[in-house]
Structure 1
């Protein structure tokens, strides 16, 4: 619930009353659960990355190596269809520039995703390429760069850049 609201307005542009209303609780009760809006945002970081990690682990299942990474990649592209999830991640990345608490939480959660990918395939160069493409996918979805999942990513980017 908070994720959807923070996805729209970020930490500074989201009213706690809106979060409380969406959760179906009073604002005073919300502040009994979380002492500050910043604490709500940080808890939402945990929720967001827990969700992503759970989905990717489920996708990999008992697969290993490239098959596991391909399953993870396919699931991640599906997750990016949830614009709130994507927008919230982008707010986390942006806020990390100035907020050390958010930066530390985001860094720890990205490290967890890196470890997840590394469990699927121990080749650090393959994991690096895979992780980089995933972050690029975030930008492509955010900027509405046309791409058909499963197509040639480099060609899609070249064609888009030539038309832009």
Structure 2
């Protein structure tokens, strides 16, 4: 799958994949790689389109959590396409809107990425069970993109 830009280099990617594996005992390494790649595409898209009200699936959110734990990498990743993408967990199981996952995938395509559609399922139909129990989903949800600071504070 050719992407508009490379996602993460080998050592960066492997570090985040290992974090996802550590948080999800028994997960196949190939699945963790897919999840990290999809979370990377999601974060780059959210940074590029801060007004789009995007949200990850529960499975993709697991990869987002892995990325966030690698703070320097995550900060640099967000800066590649825009501002820092804040994450505030939501745990309300009613906070699910199927249309937002469809819209998120459409915006990922607009950003030049091909979504791994198997990872974008409803929270009650995940491809794989993950440790992340966040439930993002409302348009006024917990994802906030912080704009890039202006040079010299101006």
Same fold flag (TM > 0.5): no
State the TM-score bracket (shorter-chain normalisation). under 0.3
> 1 or 2, which has the higher helix percentage?
1
State which structure, 1 or 2, has the greater radius of gyration over its C-alpha atoms.
1
> 1 or 2, which has the higher strand percentage?
2
Higher RCO (C-alpha 8 Å, min separation 6):
2
